[in-house]
Amino acid sequence: MIRLSNAKTVTITLPKSDVFEDTAPRLLDVGADGSPEVVVVQSNARLGAKLAIYDETGLVAVTPNIGRSNR
C-alpha cells in the first residue's frame, strides 16, 4: 500500500508468484515531475528478481527478471 501526501492510499497487488524483497521502499523522483515514485525489488521464485517502479497509477517501469532464483 502506498499512502500519498493527500492521504489517499493506493494498493499494489502482485501476482501470487511474486513478492517484494525490500524491508522499505525507495522513494525517488524518477520521472523528474516533482512527485516521487516507489522503486522496489520484486522477486519471483522461478524467474528471480527485477527492479520495478510504481506511482499512484500503478506500474511505471520494470527491468527484466535476472533469470535465476536464490542468487
Percent of the chain with pLDDT over 90: 46
User: Residue 4 pLDDT > 80, yes or no?
Assistant: no
The pTM of the full predicted model, rounded to 2 decimals, is 0.82
What's the mean pLDDT when you consider all of the chain?
A: 87
Residues in the chain: 71
β-partners of residue 26 are 39
DSSP states of 35-64 = SPEEEEEEEETTTEEEEEEEETTEEEEEPP
Q: What is the pLDDT of residue 60?
A: 93
| 71 in any annotated domain | no
Q: What pLDDT digit, counting tens, does each position of 19-39 carry?
A: 999 888 899 999 899 888 999
The answer to which of 3-12, 22-31, 40-49, 58-67 has the lowest mean pLDDT is 3-12
Domain count of the fold of the chain: 1
Q: Which domain holds residue 47?
A: 2-62
Buried b (16+ CB within 10 A) or exposed e, 5-19: eeeeeeeeeeeeebe
